[in-house]
Structure 1
Amino acid sequence: MAQKTFDVNVINKSKTDRKAVPVVLDLKKYGMDVKSALVQSDGTEIPSQLDDLNGDGIFDELCFITDISKKSELKFSVRLMPDGKPREYKPQVYAEMLMSNKKVKSSNKQNLYISSLTVDNGTNPYWMLHHHGPAFENEMVAYRIYFDHRQTVDIYGKYKKGLELKETQFYPDKAQKAAGFGDDILWVGETLGLGTLRGWNGNAPQMLKDVDHRTLRLVARGPLRTIVEVIDKGWNTMNPGKDKIDMTMRYTLYAGRRDCFVDVKFNKPVPEYQFATGIINVKNSVEMSDNKGLRGCWGTDWPVSEKDSAGHKRETVGLGICIPAANVISELPANKDNYPYVIGNATDELHYNITFGSANETFGFHSADAWFEHLKAWKKELETPIEIK
C-alpha cells in the first residue's frame, strides 16, 4: 500500500496564545496499517508519536504538539507510511512501573520493570510495587496512581524543569535532594487525592474494594505523551441496587502541560449511576470554586505521615480539577478530607482534567491568588479547544 500525505490545519479562534496544544489524529480513517509517520511544519520535521492503544500491534493514533498564537492558523504536513519503524525523538516525558526487588536496598535503583499487571478480587499488590503503582512525568510535573482499592492519584513536585523519575524513582536520596531534585509533595491517605474517581452510595465516596479484576497498564511512554490505563472489571460501585460495571480509565500527560487528561469509559451507558471525585482538602487550605465544575485549593501540609516525616519539610501545593458542568450532579461542601463532587453521565463516558503546582517551582506559582487565576484561564482554554481540519 502506498504512503499517504496530507495537510492538517490547526486553528486557534480564541483571544489568547496557546502553549503545548496536543494535536491527535485517529488513524482508522486513513484505511492503512501505519508503521511510521513524518510531521513537518514549514518543511521542518517536528516530533510526533504513534500509539497502539489497545495492544493489538496496530497504531491507533498519531499525535504532535504545537504552540499557536491567538486568532491564528497553522498548517502541518503529515505523511503516513506502511513500512519502516516509528521515528525517534528526544523524550519529553517518561513513565515507569516496577515490582519491588527486595535484594536491592536503594529506593532509587530498583530494576524489575513491568508494563502491566492484573490482580484478582481481594489481591492487593500495593506493597509489591515500587512507588505503589505506575508513575509518569513531563519536565514540569509528575504523577503516580496507587495500585490498590483507593486508586488514588498522587503527585511529585519539582524545583526546576526536567525529567527526574528514571533517576529518583519517586524517592530522591540526600544527594539528589541537595542537587535540586523534586520529591513527593502530598500526603493523600484515603482522601480523593487529586481527582481520583470513586463510587458513591448516596452518602459518601466509596473506594473500589469489590472489583473482580484490576489492571494497571502503561499504554504509551513517549516521546510526547504518556498514557496510563486503569481497568476495573466487575466493579461494585456501591450505588444501591445497581449491577457491577466495567470501567477503563486513561490518564494522559502531554509534554509542556501541567494538567492531566482523565478519560473514563464504561461497558454500558450509566445514566442511573453516580460517582464521586474531587480534591483533597490540604490542611489549612483556601478554596476557590466557580460552582460550575472548576474547583481548586492552595495549602501547606506534611507530604508524608507523621512517623515518616524525618527528612521532609512542609509542602505548599495548589490543586485543581475541571469537570464539565453537565456532569456535575452536586458540588458538596468541603469536609476535613476533601472538596468533593458527585458526578455522572447518561452515556458510557466521563471526561475531566486535573492539575497541580508546587510552590517549590522556579517556573510556577507562589500564591493562592496566582494559582486561582491560572485555574480560571485553564478552564477557559479547556472549554475553547483549537480546531483541527
Structure 2
Amino acid sequence: MDFDLSEEQSLLKDSVEKLILQNYDFEQRKKYLKTSEGFSPDLWARYAEMGLLGLPFAEADGGFGGGAVETMIVMEAFGRGLVLEPYFATVVLAGGLLRHAASPAQRAELIPAIAAGTLRLAFAHAERQARYDLADVTTRARESAGVWRVSGEKSLVLAGEHADRLIVSARVSGAQRAHEGIGLFLVDAKAPGVSRRGYALQDATRAAEISLSDTQAIPLGVPGEAFPVIARVVDEAIAALCAEAVGVMAAMHEVTLDYLRTRKQFGRAIGQFQVLQHRAVDMLVAIEQARSMAMFATMMAGEADATERRRAMAAAKIQIGRSGHKVGQEAIQLHGGIGMTMEYKVGHYFKRMTMIELLFGDADHHLAELAAAGGLIAV
C-alpha cells in the first residue's frame, strides 16, 4: 500500500505547518488564551481563507472535497502547535454529523457558513452518567403539532460555550442505554430554554455544561435512528484525535531533544550521556508506533463495516494512549523540574495528550472493547 502523500496533500501539509509555525509559538498561544473566546478569531478567519474549515465537506455542499487523509494532515499540524481554535468540535465532530445525517437543504444552509468561518457548531452528546457509553442518553425530545422540543442536561460539550448552534442528541423512545430511539437535533445556542456554563479544561481548551428546557429544535435525519451516525462520526473523530496526538508527541520529542543538547551538567550537555540517549530513542519508537496506528485509523475511518471500523479505532486508541504516556512521562522527567512548570511548554503538551487519551474512551476502555470483540483481527 502506498502511504505517500499526493502533490495536493503535500502542498496542504506545507501550508498548514507554515501557518502554525508563524502564528503559534508558545508566547502567542498565551495571548490567544486571554481573549474572550479562548482562541484567536483572526486565525479562525485565516483557516477559512485557506479552505481548512470546508476541507472535509463535499464540493456539492460548499466544501473542498477532502477526506480522512486531509483531516489527518491538518490535525497533526494542529497537535504540534497546540492549537486552541474549535476546529475539532466544529469541522470534525459537528461537521461529520452534518455530512452523514443532515438533509441536502440543511447541508446547503450550514456547510457554506462553516467553510466561511461565520458559523461555529458544537456536538452536545455526553451526559454525566454515561462515561464512555455512546448510547447512554437521558435527554428527551418530543414532538407536538409538528414542532420538536428538547429537554435535558449535556456535559463536557467541547467548544460549546461560544458555539452559534448545537447539535444535540436526545432520546425519542426506548430505554436509557438502548441503541434504538436516539435522534439528533439542531438547536440555536441562544434559543429560549438553553443555558450554558463554560469552563477551561486542564489543557486550556474550553467546554461547557449545557441545560435545555423545552427548547425548540430541528431534527437532523430521522429521529430515533441516529445511533449508527453518532458511532460512525465518533470513529472518524478518534482517527482525527490519533493524528493530533502524533503531532503532540512529535513536538514533545523535539523539545526534549533540544533540551538535552543545551542543558549542561558535569561540564557537558546531558544529551551526551548514553542512558538519556536510550530514553530519547525509546520516545521515538513509541511515536513511530503511534504514527503507524494513526495512519491505520485514518485508512479505516471510511470503512462501511461498523464492526471492523470499531476494532481499528479501538486498537489505534490503545496504542495512542500507551505511546502518549511513554512520551509524555519521559519528556517531563528528562526536563527535570522545569518540565513541571506552567511557564514551560512541554507540560502543556503533556496535558493535551492526557485529554486526547480520555476523549471517547481511554486505553483501558478500548482494550476491554477490543478483547470483547475478539481482537483486531477476528479469528
Higher helix share: 2
- Normalised by the size of structure 1, how large is the TM-score? 0.25
Q: Which has the higher strand share?
A: 1
The normalised TM-score by structure 2 is 0.25
